[in-house]
Amino acid sequence: MLAGASAFAQQYDLLIKNGHVIDPGNEIDAVLDVAIKGDSIAAVAKDIPSDQAKKTIDATGLYVTPGLIDLHAHVFGYSGWLWPDDTQLLTGTTTVVDCGGSGWRTFETFKETVIDRSKTRVLAFINVVGAGMVGTESDIDDMDAEKLAAKIKQFPEIIVGIKCAHYGRKDYYNLEQAVKAGNLAGVPMIVDNSILTSNDRDTETKLLKYFRPGDIHTHMFNDRHLEIADRFTGKIQPYMLEARKKGRLLDVGHGSGSFVWPNAHKVMAQHFYPDTISTDLHNSSIFTTKADMPNVMSKMMALGMSLQETIFRSTARPAQVIRKYPEIGTLGTGKIADIAVLELEEGIFGFADSWKKKKLAKQRLRAVLTVRAGELVFDEKGLGFPEWQTAGEYEKIP
Chain positions contacting Zn ion, by CB under 5 A: 99, 280
Least distance to Zn ion from the beta carbon of 234, Å?
27
Task: Tell me whether residue 280 or residue 338 sits nearer to Zn ion (CB atom).
Answer: 280
Contact 179, 162 (CB under 8 A): no
Cα 362 from Cα 343, distance rounded (Å): 13
Q: How far is the CB of 52 from Zn ion (least distance, A)?
A: 44
Nearest to Zn ion of 92, 253 (CB atom):
253
> Would you say the C-alpha torsion 133, 136, 142, 145 has a positive or negative sign?
positive
Whole-number minimum distance, CB 256 to Zn ion, in Å?
A: 10
Evaluate whether 56 touches 83 at the Cβ level (below 8 Å): no
Residue placing its CB nearer to Zn ion in the complex, 23 or 280: 280
How far apart are CB 36 and Zn ion at their closest, in Å?
Answer: 33
User: DSSP strand E in the chain: where?
Assistant: 12-23, 28-37, 40-45, 53-58, 63-66, 68-73, 93-99, 121-127, 159-164, 189-191, 216-217, 249-250, 339-352, 358-372, 375-379
Shortest Å, Cβ 336 to Zn ion: 26
d(CA 120, CA 87): 10
Give the closest residue to 254 by CA, choosing from 304, 224, 218.
218
Q: How far is the CB of 99 from Zn ion (least distance, A)?
A: 5
Residues paired with residue 53 on neighbouring β-strands, in sequence order: 12
Give the residue with the Cβ less far from Zn ion, 280 or 343: 280
Q: Closer to Zn ion by CB, 321 or 371: give it.
A: 321
Task: Indicate the residue among 21 and 96 with the shorter CB distance to Zn ion.
Answer: 96
Residue with smallest beta-carbon separation from Zn ion = 280
Residue type for 282, please? H
